[in-house]
Amino acid sequence: MKNNFMKFAAITLIATMALVTSCKEDKEDDPTLSVVPQVTAIVFDADGETARVGSQTISTTFTVETNQTGWDAVSNQPTWLSVSKSGNTFTLRATVAGTTAPPPAKVTITAGNATPVEIAVTQLPLVPSLIVTPSTRAVDFNPNGSPFNVGDNVFGVITNVDWDVVSSAPDWLTVEKQGTSFTILAQKTPEIEPRAATVTVTATGAPSVTINVTQDEQVIVNVALNKPVEVSSEGFVVGAVGSSAVDGDTDDFASRWISLLEGDNQWIEIDLEENCMLYGLNIFFMAYGNYPQNMWKFQAWIDGDWVDVFEEDYGIWQNVIDDWGRAPYSTEFEEPVETNKVRWYLFGLPEWGAVQANIFEIQVWGHPW
């Protein structure tokens, strides 16, 4: 009887130990899966590089802990959120966002029969910004097209979106883009009044920046003053030479050009020594006796030929201002004339068969061009 009891006890102990061992083995075989750091949702900034949980920045690389032989991590929005695996880690990478947030994403981590882990991922939309440097919002140009201060017409652009720059007056004011900068360029102005325009910088979704541009007017001067001359003739009176017609003296009888009294034309040609834009003319005549000078032309040297700017055909006596016969004449051209050489040309025979020029001064009003 005693032996039977001992046998029963031994069998019961063995069975109990086997059951305990079996339960322990069953517990160790339960599939496990966890991800470190343990988060359920993260938010990427628009730059695609920084991720946050609440206000705290976290790493986008996660460690996978599992007792399963294999695992995987998959994004359901691979167009903007990608997953790259390395060993027992995976890293989330987001593209740069546009001005509209991308659709919410979900990353699912699986390992064998373990319960999957899910991480919800969203991204903030891009907030467009535009900064134009320097902060000055005005550029002034000289009449010749150069900025008053070297470099004032060059600007830098800092933005996180596409940008463009345009001029309101592209016929004379242009803009050249170079990477993240632009240069404002002005043409020479033919105007005798100041002109103005604007340059506007735009960036998608951001407030635009406007730069005010002004250009000074051309300074009108007597471009014929003291310039070289050639004449058809001179010396009717001692000292009455061609250069006296451009010496700046408008009423000194000793400072005149008087041609010889001969032929059917007399002329004086003035070399302006540079290309000029011309707007008008003053001539101070001596008008009496043999000097009617009523038929004459003013000409400009254009494309290798003398071109008439205008012609007069009336007696200049109507302009006489004193008993000495001084007769100033003044006119503005209908259109500006571009040239580097001009000519006053007297023609038309009077009844005595010859013409003669008698001029105190010729003033040609314009500016270098």
Domain containing residue 282: CATH number: 2.60.120.260
pLDDT for 262: 78
pLDDT for 295: 82
Residues 100 and 230 grouped into a single domain: no
Question: Is the Cβ–Cβ distance between 111 and 123 less than 8 Å?
Answer: no
pLDDT digits (tens, 9 = 90+) for 182-231: 999 999 998 889 999 999 999 988 999 999 999 999 999 999 999 999 99
Q: What is the mean pLDDT of the chain?
A: 88
pLDDT digits (tens, 9 = 90+) for 334-343: 999 999 999 9
Residue with tokens 């083995």: 25
Mean pLDDT computed over 175-188: 96
Mean pLDDT computed over 230-245: 91
The answer to whether residue 90 sits within a structural domain is: yes
Residues 76 and 116 grouped into a single domain: yes
Residues 294 and 346 grouped into a single domain: yes
pLDDT for 352: 53
pLDDT for 3: 52
Highest-scoring range by mean pLDDT, 23-37, 133-147, 305-319: 133-147
Quickly list DSSP for 190-242: --SS-EEEEEEEEETTEEEEEEEEEEPPPPPEETTTT--EEES---SSTT--G
- Among 196, 215, 234, the domain boundary falls at 215
The answer to whether residue 16 sits within a structural domain is: no
Residues 159 and 259 grouped into a single domain: no
If one counts every other C-beta atom within 10 angstroms of the C-beta of residue 274, the result is 10
The two structure tokens encoding residue 112: 């064998």
Residues 149 and 261 grouped into a single domain: no
Residues 249 and 198 grouped into a single domain: no
pLDDT of residue 369 exceeding 90: no
- Confidence band, pLDDT 50/70/90 cuts, at residue 157: very high
The answer to whether residue 10 sits within a structural domain is: no
pLDDT for 14: 52
- Among 67, 93, 123, the domain boundary falls at 123
Mean pLDDT computed over 165-175: 97
Residues 139 and 194 grouped into a single domain: yes
- Confidence band, pLDDT 50/70/90 cuts, at residue 23: very low
Select the more confidently predicted residue: 47 or 172.
172
- Among 96, 123, 150, the domain boundary falls at 123
In sequence order, what E strands does 51-116 have? 51-53, 56-58, 61-66, 72-75, 81-86, 89-94, 105-110
pLDDT of residue 1 exceeding 70: no
Domain of 204, CATH number, reads: 2.60.40.10
Residues 348 and 237 grouped into a single domain: yes
The answer to whether residue 168 sits within a structural domain is: yes
Residues 262 and 170 grouped into a single domain: no
pLDDT for 291: 56
Query: What range does the domain containing 180 cover?
Result: 130-215
Q: What is the pTM of this model?
A: 0.65
pLDDT for 235: 81
Say how many domains are in the chain. Answer: 3
Q: How far apart, in whole angstroms, are the C-alpha atoms of residue 283 and residue 345?
A: 12
Question: Is the Cβ–Cβ distance between 43 and 123 less than 8 Å?
Answer: yes
The two structure tokens encoding residue 345: 């040309």
Highest-scoring range by mean pLDDT, 5-14, 192-201, 324-333: 192-201
pLDDT of residue 236 exceeding 60: yes
Q: How many CA atoms lie within 13 A of 169 on its CB side?
A: 16
Peptide bond into 134 cis (omega under 30): yes
Q: How large a percentage of the chain has pLDDT more than 90?
A: 70
Q: How far apart, in whole angstroms, are the C-alpha atoms of residue 42 and residue 60?
A: 9
If one counts every other C-beta atom within 10 angstroms of the C-beta of residue 171, the result is 8
pLDDT digits (tens, 9 = 90+) for 272-319: 999 999 999 999 988 765 455 668 899 999 999 999 999 987 555 556
Could you tell me which residues come within 8 angstroms of residue 336 by beta carbon, excluding any fewer than 6 positions away? 190, 277, 278, 279, 366
Lowest mean pLDDT among 51-55, 122-126, 170-174, 316-320: 316-320
The two structure tokens encoding residue 165: 């720059």
Residues 46 and 97 grouped into a single domain: yes
